[in-house]
Chains A and B, each alone.
Chain A
């Protein structure tokens, strides 16, 4: 069993605004093993992007403990050691704004090399070209191009090359292909999978596309309004979804074959609007939209329980299973 590379315990990230406190991430716990692809799924307001942004150091957590390679990250995420900055990297969601429009691709990829003084000056060109070749972009063509002149898929490849420039061990991929077409998405995902093998990378993969997740992740966690509702190994997650929200989400995905239609949960159809994270209802945050809501759901927030090995769910329909004697 490969060792744990990241452990998150009770992570919280609240934003304090004039309109109220936004509980973007509220008591989230999970752990990721080395070399795996851990999937995080959710809709807008779920907090999945905030989780990634906090882990990589854009925000300081409001609470909770996080351990990377068994070392605590402390409370100050934004001022972390240079080593950590090299080890944990991120590929952002929107290729359009993740590359500086006034920099050439060479400059964009060079930045991490400069900051961390990787390689003497004269060898950097070679390394940048290598990185571009690794993401299948011919260096001669792309080194001096500007982001506006290349397509979305190519921009994401540049972002990936940039993320890998420091030889990281952990990469957060925040919806890396959501803005892209299906055929380009396939290319990039395949590339990411090859790179993972070749460079021994661990991925935190975030997407709202469940079909993609089905084929990418080894384990999936689904988030709703800042909390994780269900975590399970991928196959179980899709074949035996427990939480009503998981089932609602799965039943909404557009699929292209009858065979896939058959795999979708039947009874639950989506209804209601996603509430704003400022106005989280009391009790279970999902109860307003839940067709299986009970009285207890309006009062008490459920806790995570392990139903099968490795399959956790947070719902009053699934109380703590009876302990075997």
Chain B
């Protein structure tokens, strides 16, 4: 094979790997739909000030002349009791939801993964048992109750809400990574890396961790939805995003008082929540297929 031919083959093989991943994902049409929807939502949230018709309505703004208007061309989702455009507020509301999801996942996943790897790999039984029992304790407490307790102890702010939820989210990842790690621990390729002399840190991060990526990523996408609904629930009872900020849960709560006559104030924010969670879940399905290790 000529030099050019051989490097072409190398590039070809690399390209195949990438396109194969996408192929596996895209075979699931709903996943592609979910991905598209999520991208639109993210872009909308990021560019909210530029694309919403009434960006100022997301802050302190009142206009009682326009209050409680049903959906119209001027206000696609209607207006709330103070005259603010619901559509614009929903788009801004996505910002808080997505921010919450990103922050919670970023805070809770890394420690969870780290502890899971250590617990699954170590030969010291006391370490393994110690970590997993602590995990069990956290998992035993119902998430909403714990989040409530923490947020109520501190002041009801978005920031505290984020920290509270992060605190009870890491155990799930710890357990997931622990189960993958302990099942892979005795595979021949791990033994081979050990025998070759690779240091422990390398084995955890480069040998075992890549095999956890699939389940962890899938779980992250599903969790994003959970976190958002949890955040919305906390906001609903007044412990999250505080008025006048447009938290989706807060909006649902406020609008609920005006049901059923002025339905648009609560239904649209609720639908927005459903839409974003659904997108994440659909993506999760596709990711799972993409990471499945196929055999010939």
Interface: A99 (CB within 8 A): yes
Write the nearest CB–CB distance from B114 to chain A, whole angstroms.
19
> Which B residues lie within 8 Å of A111 (CB)?
193, 196, 198
Write the nearest CB–CB distance from A191 to chain B, whole angstroms.
20
> Which A residues lie within 8 Å of B7 (CB)?
140
Is there contact, CB below 8 Å, between A148 and B294? yes
> Which B residues lie within 8 Å of A149 (CB)?
296
> Within residues 113 to 169 of chain A, which ones have a CB less than 8 A from any CB in chain B?
115-116, 138-141, 143-146, 148-151, 162, 166
Interface: B137 (CB within 8 A): no
Is there contact, CB below 8 Å, between A99 and B1? no
Our count of residue pairs bridging A and B at CB distance below 8 angstroms stands at 73
Is there contact, CB below 8 Å, between A85 and B196? yes
Q: A56-B195, A115-B197, A138-B1 are in contact. Are A101 and B17 (CB under 8 A)?
A: no
Docked Cα-Cα span, A96 to B187, in Å, equals 10
Write the nearest CB–CB distance from A237 to chain B, whole angstroms.
29
Interface: A170 (CB within 8 A): no
Is there contact, CB below 8 Å, between A162 and B192? yes
Is there contact, CB below 8 Å, between A99 and B189? yes
Is there contact, CB below 8 Å, between A85 and B195? yes
1/0 per position for B12-26, CB-CB distance to A under 8 A?
011001000000000
Interface: B6 (CB within 8 A): yes
Q: A56-B195, A141-B13, A143-B13 are in contact. Are A97 and B188 (CB under 8 A)?
A: yes
1/0 per position for A81-118, CB-CB distance to B under 8 A?
01001000110111011111111000000011001100
Task: Among B192, B207, B294, find the residue whose CB has the most chain A CB atoms closer than 10 A.
Answer: B192
Partner of A100, one of B5, B9, B189, B294: B189
> Which A residues lie within 8 Å of B10 (CB)?
140, 143-144
Residues of B with Cβ closer than 8 Å to A? 1, 5-7, 9-10, 13-14, 17, 187-189, 191-198, 207, 210-211, 213, 293-296
Q: Other than A85-B195, A140-B5, A148-B294, give 12 A-B pairs with Cβ distance below 8 A.
A: A53-B191, A90-B192, A92-B192, A99-B189, A100-B189, A102-B210, A102-B211, A103-B210, A139-B6, A141-B9, A144-B14, A166-B196
